Chain A
Amino acid sequence: MAFIQFENVRKIYKSGEVSIEALRDISFEVEKGEICVIVGPSGAGKTTLLNILGGMDTLTEGRITLDGEDISAYSKKRLITYRRRDVGFVFQFYNLIENLTALENVELAAQICQDPLDAAETLRAVGLGDRLNNFPSQLSGGEQQRVAIARALAKNPKLLLCDEPTGALDYNTGKQILELLESTSRRSGMTVLIITHNSALTAMADRVITVNSGTVRSARVNEEPVPIANIEW
């Protein structure tokens, strides 16, 4: 059984009389330790997919399992625990807490986990050893995203979910961030899901899932992923 398994997942948003089918019969799987890139145009349902996998939203039909656990059957409270222990999020706009230093932002996440990594160590690992006590406003966008990644990693999660992690960054910084994600996955065997609209990035992935109009167009395994450093776009 695969590490992540989507089986006929369906999501319908209801807003008054109107109901919108955001996801339709989604099925795919991801193996442990893989870098999986989910690619598709805006509004394809990528974020919804990620939110459901991340325990931030529930599905309407179907089944999702992670490491054998049926997360689609989780209660609301259980979902929070799931987010707390098993999932690390990286957002496009970093979502750091302005009032906390880099170290404190990481600690905030770490302190609610069962088996966290050392916050300072993690920050050093993402290359911010000398910016521990800076507030987010004192950091550049790339640095802020590194803090966000460190915050996700410090929780020692089962998988890392990244929603357009380079969306707000310039090309070089974006590349560095992707390199960081890649090396993290390769080094520690972390399963990483990256959402992007940039199909150039699919080259770096072990598995590429193309989503369009709320359904999976293709899911393929990239037998020979190219290191991000070698990809240009």
Chain B
Amino acid sequence: MTPLFKNTYREILRSPGRFLAILAIIVLGSGFFVGLRVSKNAMIATADEYYSDTEFFDFSLANTLGYEAEDLEEIRKSPLVLEAEGTFETDALVSVGGVELVYKFHSLPEVMNTPVVVEGRLPETPDECLGDSWTGLKIGDTVTVSASNDDDTGDLFKEKTFTVTGLATSPLYLNFERGSTDLGSGSVSGFCYVLPEAFDADYFTGIYIRCHDMPGAYSEKYDSRSEELEPEVTELAEKQAQARFDRILSDAQAEIDDGEQEYADALEEYRTERADAERELEDAYLELEDARRELEDGAKELEDGKKEIADGELELADSWNELEKARAELEDGKKELEDSRKEIDDGWAEYEKSHHEFINESIHGQAQLDTARQDLEAAKEQLEAAESEYSAGWSDYQDGVRQYEEGQAALEQMKAKYDQLAQSDPTDPELPMLNAQIAAGAAQLESARRELDSADSALSAASAEISDGWREYNENLEKYNEAEEEFKTSVADAQAQLDDAKRELEDGEREYSEGVQEHEDGQARYEDGLKKYEDGRAELDRAKRELEDAQREYDDGLREYEDGLSEYEDAKREADKEFADAERELQDARDELDEAIEDLAELETPETFVLGRWGNLGYECFENDTSIVQAISAVFPVFFFLVAALICLTTVSRMVEEQRSQLGVLLALGYSRPAVMGKFLFYAGAATVIGGASGILLGSWCIPMVVWKAYNIMYTFSDKIKFVFDLPLSAITFSLYVVAMLAVTLFTCGRELRDVPANIIRLKPPKSGKRVMLERVKFIWNRLSFLWKVTVRNIFRYKSRVLMMILGIAGCTALMITGMGINDSIRNVVDYQFTEISLYDYSVTFSGSLDLKEREEFLAGVSEFAERTVFLNQESASATAGRAEKEVQLNVLPADAASGIGELVDFHSGNKKLRAPQDGEILVNSGLADALGLRAGDSVTVRPDSGGTLKLTVCGVYDNYIYNSVYITERSFVEAVGEEPDINFALVKKAPDADAGEGLARILSEDGVLTASSSQELINRIGGMMDSLIYIVLLTIICAAALAFVVIYNLTNINIQERLREIATVKVLGFYDPETAMYVLRENILLTLLGAAAGIPMGLALNAYVVTRIELDMIHFVPRVLLPSYLWSVALTIAFSLTVDIFMLRRLARIDPAVALKAAE
């Protein structure tokens, strides 16, 4: 171990970060570059392996007549051919789970282009098939050859329904492209392998061959070898096509001869048979005539019978009328009788009632009279009693008067006695007693007197009453006598009336009895009449029945006759028809023969097609797709190489600076300059060699794996990518890095060690402070805080570091913008297409041209969910301008669609709206315009596949990303082609709330709809395909992060080491840790911001560069970077930078100012 090596080894250990930074940037730079470069080769190697495993063809031979087994044998014999296999292939409309699709059917090959079964097994019987793993088919599904195929296609299949027994990938279909077809929607949805026995064909549609000594796929050698062989293969193909033609020709001639013979025989047979049939018909006709005559006689007889019956009916009707009249009369009489009976009964009842009343009244009158008489007698008795009472009262009164007068006299005596006494002796003791007796006597007398007076008046009143009573009695007596007289008279009158009534009633009874007798006689007469009528009726009915029997008999006869007649006519018609058919058949046979003869005469030598691998869409697309990776790989070396060089430069110059005195001493001791520099060269060389070697190996191994993971979404044929080591590329990359690093080291050392040893030994004065340009701009400078000023000055102190930092960080941002921009540009193409341009939800292809009525029916059918429908003509065409030619979808707008199309397809260019095309004008999509170099006002030639040539003026170029679609008016088409375009296509926009899937199913169920596709489905499908892009984005983000980390770490690291003293001083001054950190890291922050800002335009440019290099068929990518991508890129850049800063914080905190200051002395 030389001291130099030891020294270097220690140097590395002393600050491993510095060494690792150089190592890392070289690992990253060489690894990503070689890895991405090699990815394409690795992918191609993987594909090549798949191609040789599946024995992929070198040439496919086909001709318009097909080949036969003997042609295949002949081709196999050719010395060019390693192996050859015939194939039968045809496109057919199929129905899978109720959806109509176009599948490409292949006969299952045994050796070449063998499908790789990924699930299930190969078909074993003719009704089984191997499905396409890319489609949503599942094992057990059935694929039915649809009835809507034309006969030619339908007849190719012996089996119509196939059960899926397995799913496979096929080398013929490397990616998702399944090719286009003239059936259905124009594109094939999937392939389907069936056993050759499932086809009803005795020829091959093509022959695949592999040739001897073919180099690997996609190589230039392969292409040149392929080109070299093509003429010979074509010759072979044409020779066998000619052989096939000759065979067909001779076979056909033999067939025609047979046909002529058959025709002649058939004509003879026809003639004999016709004569026989005509005779038989004649006999039948005569028989029918006899029957007809007999029937006519019978009809006359029937007519007579009918007339007789009609007369009888008339007579019967008359007698019935009479009977009816008699019956009515009888009923009237009966009613009259009943009425009079009732009258009489009523009369009797009334009589009875009156009689009864009479008796009651007379009894009642007598009773009244008796009562009145009794009342009179009672009154008389009362009066007499009152008279006697009065007499008694009167005598009492007389007695009273007398007594009173006696009393008065007694009193007078007493008075007198008293007076006497009083005169005599006033003091006598009897005096007072006597006085009292006198007074009592006087009072008694007074009351007796009053009683007498009232008795007297009562007696006078009674006397008056009695005389009134007598007067009333006499009056009443008189009235009574009058009433008695009246009563007697009225009784006599009533008796006389009753007797009269009774007499009348007895007369009525007699009359009634006579009426009854008369009625009974009438009734008997009526019944006799009725019986006679019924007898007549019965007789007539019998006659009628007889007539009906006769009629039936006649009808039967007639029917029989008519049956016979129609039978005859049928037979005749049939015979005629048969004759005509036979004649037509004969004519057809004749025509066919003639046609065959004519065809044979016209049969052209077959056209032969020989296609190499480039004719296979998957083969071609795979190469295109791998170029995406290659385009991206171009981006990396720029940054990494420059940054690696800059890192090396700064690191080495720092190291030299640190070790100046040591170097000076070495030089002073007499070591040569190269020997001294050797140490640094060794240091840088070690980093480069280790980094380059490991980077190239790791990159070659890992990156293709990651890329393949992404591509696996589109290319499922292999899980693992082959490991490819590209020696020349690796060697060049490796030596470039080594040379560059050593050159940078030499340059740096040389610059530092140019001086004389004495000066070198001396400590290099620290780089002096300088004013920066910004200080002149007082406006900004004065606004900066003090610490920012320091930062700005520091930044501009070391130009190479600033450059490195900005380049590295800008590279980081730019890489992320590129990665996310690729994603934005590609992923959102479908969204832009269907949200900004194609506003329709379904495109519908009809099986033929729709007339007005059919269009209305379709509209009615979808009216439930469809908001807008536009019918138009769509067909494929080629567009030519100058020498460039492109396949396009030609859309012909009928007059009524020209206005409505704007609602379904938004024609715009940027923000500018475009109008629909006028007559003679064409609206072209941007992709086509780019490809053909068209601008508004240019002229372009369009040739529809159905014929005709249109010369049109471009009226506008509209933004469009998917398919080449051009729009013209119907009149433009009619003028050029001379016929109306078929209305075979419709665009439908659904109502916002309608379900997309249901709508599609409804459309598919409409009459006349061949296929329909939903935009949503397409969005989903392509969206899934674009998922692979996320890996590309991740890859660039990881790469960007690595770049940012290495650059920022390295710079900060050097910065800190170099400014250790300054940092220590600041710490001594009393800066807290965060303040110290900011004092240093502020530069990182500022540079990160500057770098990120610089990275945006760089990213845009890179993105544009990469995106325009990505070519996918049908899809036109426009570089786009969305706002979130900018934000993310800048935010992630800042985040990466901050991560390094946070890591550096610890390092700064560890710096001990005392030690740092001491070390510097």
| B1069 contacts across to A, CB distance below 8 A | 83-84, 89, 108-109, 112, 151, 155
User: Could you tell me the distance in whole angstroms from the C-beta of A105 to the nearest C-beta in chain B?
Assistant: 9
Given A81-B1070, A109-B1069, A112-B1069, also A98-B1161 (CB < 8 A) = no
User: Could you tell me the distance in whole angstroms from the C-beta of B1148 to the nearest C-beta in chain A?
Assistant: 13
Q: Is B1153 an interface residue (CB 8 A)?
A: yes
Q: Is A135 an interface residue (CB 8 A)?
A: yes
| B768 contacts across to A, CB distance below 8 A | 98, 135-138
| A5 contacts across to B, CB distance below 8 A | none
Q: How far is the CA of A57 from the CA of B758 in the complex (A)?
A: 37
Q: How far is the CA of A111 from the CA of B1071 in the complex (A)?
A: 11
Is B1075's CB under 8 angstroms from A112's CB? yes
Is A104's CB under 8 angstroms from B786's CB? yes
Is A47's CB under 8 angstroms from B1062's CB? no
Given A135-B769, A136-B769, A137-B765, also A47-B1072 (CB < 8 A) = no
Q: Is B349 an interface residue (CB 8 A)?
A: no
Is B1160's CB under 8 angstroms from A100's CB? no
**CB proximity to A under 8 Å, residues B773-821:** 786, 789-790, 793-794, 797
For B789, B1061, B1065, the residue with the greatest tally of chain A CB atoms inside 10 Å of its CB is: B1065
Q: How far is the CA of A136 from the CA of B766 in the complex (A)?
A: 10
Is B1154's CB under 8 angstroms from A51's CB? yes
Is B789's CB under 8 angstroms from A95's CB? no
Partner of A93, one of B770, B1154, B1160: B1160
Q: How far is the CA of A155 from the CA of B1069 in the complex (A)?
A: 9
Given A93-B1161, A136-B769, also A111-B786 (CB < 8 A) = yes
Is B767's CB under 8 angstroms from A98's CB? yes
Query: CB-nearest residue of chain A relative to B1149?
Result: A76
Is A101's CB under 8 angstroms from B769's CB? yes
User: Could you tell me the distance in whole angstroms from the C-beta of A109 to the nearest C-beta in chain B?
Assistant: 5
Q: How far is the CA of A51 from the CA of B1066 in the complex (A)?
A: 15
Binary flags per residue of B1123-1161, CB closer than 8 Å to A gives 1, else 0: 000000000000000000000000000000110011011
| A226 contacts across to B, CB distance below 8 A | none
Binary flags per residue of B597-616, CB closer than 8 Å to A gives 1, else 0: 00000000000000000000
Q: Is A80 an interface residue (CB 8 A)?
A: yes
| B1064 contacts across to A, CB distance below 8 A | 95
Is A104's CB under 8 angstroms from B789's CB? yes
Given A51-B1154, A57-B1154, A137-B768, also A112-B1071 (CB < 8 A) = yes
User: Could you tell me the distance in whole angstroms from the C-beta of A101 to the nearest C-beta in chain B?
Assistant: 7
Q: Is A218 an interface residue (CB 8 A)?
A: no
Binary flags per residue of A67-95, CB closer than 8 Å to B gives 1, else 0: 00000000001001111110101011101
Number of chain B residues close to chain A: CB under 8 A: 31
Query: CB-nearest residue of chain B relative to A76?
Result: B1073
Partner of A92, one of B1070, B1072, B1161: B1161
| B794 contacts across to A, CB distance below 8 A | 99
Is A135's CB under 8 angstroms from B1070's CB? no
Q: How far is the CA of A204 from the CA of B422 in the complex (A)?
A: 193
User: Could you tell me the distance in whole angstroms from the C-beta of A169 to the nearest C-beta in chain B?
Assistant: 15
| A104 contacts across to B, CB distance below 8 A | 786, 789-790
Binary flags per residue of B1054-1078, CB closer than 8 Å to A gives 1, else 0: 0000000110111111111101000
Given A97-B1062, A107-B786, A108-B786, also A89-B769 (CB < 8 A) = no
Query: CB-nearest residue of chain A relative to B772?
Result: A99
Is B793's CB under 8 angstroms from A99's CB? yes
| B767 contacts across to A, CB distance below 8 A | 98
Q: Is A200 an interface residue (CB 8 A)?
A: no
Q: Is A56 an interface residue (CB 8 A)?
A: yes
Query: CB-nearest residue of chain A relative to B794?
Result: A99
Q: How far is the CA of A68 from the CA of B1066 in the complex (A)?
A: 27
Binary flags per residue of A35-49, CB closer than 8 Å to B gives 1, else 0: 000000000000100
User: Could you tell me the distance in whole angstroms from the C-beta of B363 to the nearest C-beta in chain A?
Assistant: 154
| B1160 contacts across to A, CB distance below 8 A | 93
Q: How far is the CA of A67 from the CA of B1067 in the complex (A)?
A: 23
Given A95-B1061, A107-B786, A137-B769, also A83-B1161 (CB < 8 A) = no
Is A99's CB under 8 angstroms from B790's CB? yes
Binary flags per residue of B69-100, CB closer than 8 Å to A gives 1, else 0: 00000000000000000000000000000000
| A137 contacts across to B, CB distance below 8 A | 765-766, 768-769
Q: How far is the CA of A93 from the CA of B1160 in the complex (A)?
A: 9
Number of chain A residues close to chain B: CB under 8 A: 36
Q: How far is the CA of A93 from the CA of B1066 in the complex (A)?
A: 15
**CB proximity to A under 8 Å, residues B537-566:** none
**CB proximity to A under 8 Å, residues B296-342:** none
Is B769's CB under 8 angstroms from A98's CB? yes
**CB proximity to B under 8 Å, residues A119-145:** 135-138
Given A56-B1154, A84-B1070, also A135-B770 (CB < 8 A) = yes
Is B769's CB under 8 angstroms from A47's CB? no
Is B1157's CB under 8 angstroms from A95's CB? yes
| B1158 contacts across to A, CB distance below 8 A | 47
| B1070 contacts across to A, CB distance below 8 A | 80-85, 87, 112, 155
| B1065 contacts across to A, CB distance below 8 A | 95-97
Query: CB-nearest residue of chain A relative to B767?
Result: A98
| A91 contacts across to B, CB distance below 8 A | 1157
| A108 contacts across to B, CB distance below 8 A | 786, 790, 1066, 1069
Partner of A56, one of B769, B770, B1068: B1068
Is A100's CB under 8 angstroms from B769's CB? yes
| B769 contacts across to A, CB distance below 8 A | 97-101, 135-137
Query: CB-nearest residue of chain A relative to B1076?
Result: A80
| A107 contacts across to B, CB distance below 8 A | 786
Q: How far is the CA of A135 from the CA of B1062 in the complex (A)?
A: 15
| B797 contacts across to A, CB distance below 8 A | 99
Q: How far is the CA of A12 from the CA of B781 in the complex (A)?
A: 48
User: Could you tell me the distance in whole angstroms from the C-beta of A49 to the nearest C-beta in chain B?
Assistant: 12
Q: How far is the CA of A81 from the CA of B790 in the complex (A)?
A: 22
| A99 contacts across to B, CB distance below 8 A | 769, 790, 793-794, 797
| A96 contacts across to B, CB distance below 8 A | 1065
Q: How far is the CA of A77 from the CA of B1073 in the complex (A)?
A: 9
Is A77's CB under 8 angstroms from B1161's CB? no
Q: How far is the CA of A108 from the CA of B1160 in the complex (A)?
A: 22
For A77, A87, A112, the residue with the greatest tally of chain B CB atoms inside 10 Å of its CB is: A112
User: Could you tell me the distance in whole angstroms from the C-beta of B1067 to the nearest C-beta in chain A?
Assistant: 8
User: Could you tell me the distance in whole angstroms from the C-beta of A171 to the nearest C-beta in chain B?
Assistant: 21
For A51, A97, A108, the residue with the greatest tally of chain B CB atoms inside 10 Å of its CB is: A97
| A95 contacts across to B, CB distance below 8 A | 1061, 1064-1065, 1068, 1157
Is A100's CB under 8 angstroms from B790's CB? yes
| A89 contacts across to B, CB distance below 8 A | 1068-1069
User: Could you tell me the distance in whole angstroms from the C-beta of B1060 to the nearest C-beta in chain A?
Assistant: 12
User: Could you tell me the distance in whole angstroms from the C-beta of A131 to the nearest C-beta in chain B?
Assistant: 13
| B1067 contacts across to A, CB distance below 8 A | 80
Q: How far is the CA of A135 from the CA of B793 in the complex (A)?
A: 12
Query: CB-nearest residue of chain A relative to B791?
Result: A99
| A101 contacts across to B, CB distance below 8 A | 769
| A80 contacts across to B, CB distance below 8 A | 1067, 1070-1073
User: Could you tell me the distance in whole angstroms from the C-beta of A142 to the nearest C-beta in chain B?
Assistant: 17
User: Could you tell me the distance in whole angstroms from the C-beta of A29 to the nearest C-beta in chain B?
Assistant: 24
| A98 contacts across to B, CB distance below 8 A | 766-769, 1062
Query: CB-nearest residue of chain B relative to A96?
Result: B1065
| B1157 contacts across to A, CB distance below 8 A | 91, 95
Q: How far is the CA of A51 from the CA of B769 in the complex (A)?
A: 29
User: Could you tell me the distance in whole angstroms from the C-beta of B1158 to the nearest C-beta in chain A?
Assistant: 7
Query: CB-nearest residue of chain B relative to A134?
Result: B769
| A97 contacts across to B, CB distance below 8 A | 769, 790, 1062, 1065-1066
Q: How far is the CA of A95 from the CA of B770 in the complex (A)?
A: 17
Q: Closest 3 CB pairs between A and B?
A: A84-B1070, A137-B768, A135-B769
A sample of 6 cross-chain residue pairs with beta-carbon separation below 8 angstroms, ordered by A number, consists of A87-B1070, A99-B797, A100-B793, A104-B789, A107-B786, A109-B1069
Contacts A84-B1070, A137-B766 known; 10 new A-B pairs at CB < 8 A: A54-B1068, A84-B1071, A87-B1070, A98-B769, A100-B793, A104-B790, A107-B786, A108-B786, A155-B1069, A155-B1070
